[in-house]
Structure 1
Amino acid sequence: MPYLLSVCEAGSLAGAARMLRVNHSTVFRRIEAVEARLGVRLFERLARGYIMTPAGERFYERAILLCEGMDELERELGGQDLRLEGPLTVTTTDSLLHCLAPIFAQFRHTYPDVELRLLSDVQALDLMQRDADIALRPTNNPPEHWIGRDLFSLSFATYAHRDYWQAVQDDGPEYYHWIMLGDDLNQSPMSKITLRRKHQEAKSTVLNTMMSVFDMVNAGFGIAAMPCYLGEKHETLVRVDEPDDSAGWRLWLLAHPDVRRSARVNAFYDFATKHITDEVLGIS
């Protein structure tokens, strides 16, 4: 079924092959085999791609309902698990994982039978699809359908290595080198702060993860806007400007309502709420 659904959604064999990370010919053989077994054509093969026949549209509608039902059943059964053992997947950002590694280590020692998986992929994960059980995320707009705890407010500021700042602060802002986190729409708090404070003639370097920005700042490469929980925690860095919390971002602990009843999720919720504080993050 994944092969058929992928062709329905992608509209081509090549697109489906990319989604599934398989060979183009593998998708073709699977589609041909299903159509032969059913005795019906599910797709019209056109020059511009694969178009669903009425039978294909009917299959797609039923398949989506089946997948949604299986996802709901998995969440409900997983949410009723009362054992303090087994896998628990937590997604967070690379910068929070860097700062909170001791907290995660403490949780593992407290609950040794819980198999903790930590994901810090830059792509957004979907709790509805069970990519993760819990999300620990900075946001100003948490999803309404998730159960969440608001841990505390987040501020952002610009930082530089003390040696770099001492060397350039008398040169004028047009000579500062800025390090920016890639943000196509410039909607993140870091991008907005950078655009407000960066001189129009100042040069910049763009990176794709928050920790790579931090590493370059810590190496004396330039100035960057970053979360205060990251910048304030390292004595090698100095804060160039005052903290800014105007974006209204907060640190949220989130889970889907169905899995919130799981003993493992409850244990992590209670542990994180107790131990993750602004003092731990170095922003007291």
Structure 2
Amino acid sequence: MTQQESHSLNWDDLKYFLAVARTGTLRGGADSIGANHTTLARRVEVMEERVGSRLFDRSKSGLVLTQLGEDLLPYAERVEEEMTAASRVIVGRDAVPKGTIHISLPHGLAMTSIMDDLALFSDRYPDINLNMNFTNNVVDLTRREADVSLRVANEVTEDVVGRKLVQMSQAAYCTKDYAQKVRNNGGEGLSLIGFHEPDTETTAPWIKDSCYPKAKLRHRVSDIVPLITLAASGMGMAYLACNLGDRHPGLIRAPFQKPLPYRSIWLLLHKDLKNTARVRLFVDFLAGQIKSRRNEFWVSGTVANGEG
């Protein structure tokens, strides 16, 4: 093997290198790209043998880049960008409505009528498979972490093709029994269930702007599922998107409130995939379904007595 060959790199080398550089551990890097931990460790070792120097040093916090590793990082990232761009071009030329669509969407949408839309799409297009990743993390469409992303947000600023489908409204939900405790007094004496927030006070800015500014934030959770479950167990009131809260059989809108504006549902894809047959079919179908039920997502009117 010549000296030039011994120092040569390929895309697989750089892929493993980037995975470790971004996570700081071999195990984290392996998990991030779906590789075996032992395989990743070996590939990094081989890569270091090829370049004739260490790329990572061990520290108490994990693996850190050596100077050579730091110098190599921007080149590896540019290669990654070029490879993913090439992949998008190839996929974008696919004109046959079959294959797999990778979709990212937040946990909360799993409990809405959008799941019925996905089931209907699957029934109509049996040659298209849906690979769904339910996560509250914002995926990077430019790196092909997903083909299509459903996102709940006020605005989207990335370089993607985006459709703002519907704006949602939100309201406080509780059980029928808990609703009997609610009076037209700004929520005085009532408990709210919310998400983890930086402050540790019993009130938060969003409570002051709500229909129950005197209610106390007693309980906190990390995810939408326990938020809904605890509200349905009678622990207190929880603010939910109306298209989600109205669908739960154990919850009603709490009395003496008017639904408030919430975020919008966006349907996003990378611009290079907009002419891919299966992606175009999916995006057009889902956008049409959701928009046709606009009143399900945006509701108004004051609840006066807890009848929901």
Give the TM interval when normalised to the shorter protein: 0.7 to 0.9
Q: 2:152 pairs with 138, 141, 144, which one?
A: 138
- Specify the alignment match of 2:28 in structure 1: 18
Q: How many residues align structurally?
A: 272
- Specify the alignment match of 1:80 in structure 2: 93
TM-score by length of 2: 0.76
Partner SS state of residue 83, structure 1: coil
Where structure 2 has 5 or more consecutive residues not aligned to the other structure, the ranges are: 1-12, 301-308
Matches within 5 A, 1:43-122: 43=55, 45=57, 50-54=64-68, 56-99=69-112, 100-122=114-136
Shift of 1:87: 0.4
Q: 1:175 pairs with 182, 185, 189, which one?
A: 189
Shift of 1:4: 2.7
Question: Could you tell me which amino acid in structure 2 is paired with residue 238 of structure 1?
Answer: R
* 1:278–1:171 distance in 2 versus 1, CA, 3 Å: closer
Confirm whether residue 204 of structure 1 aligns to residue 253 of structure 2: no
* Sequence identity (%): 25
- Specify the alignment match of 1:41 in structure 2: 53
Shift of 1:95: 2.2
Matches within 5 A, 1:145-184: 145-166=159-180, 168-169=181-182, 173-184=187-198
Give, in whole Å, the separation in 1 of the partners of 2:198 and 2:88: 34
Shift of 1:29: 4.9
What is the RMSD of the two structures over their aligned residues, measured on CA atoms? 3.1
Give, in whole Å, the separation in 1 of the partners of 2:76 and 2:173: 51
* 1:45–1:280 distance in 2 versus 1, CA, 3 Å: closer
Q: 1:243 pairs with 253, 256, 259, which one?
A: 259
**Contact 1:232 1:283 (C-alpha < 8 Å) held by counterparts:** no
* 1:268–1:51 distance in 2 versus 1, CA, 3 Å: closer
**Contact 1:179 1:217 (C-alpha < 8 Å) held by counterparts:** yes
- Specify the alignment match of 1:256 in structure 2: 270
Give, in whole Å, the separation in 2 of the partners of 1:64 and 1:96: 33
**Contact 1:95 1:210 (C-alpha < 8 Å) held by counterparts:** yes
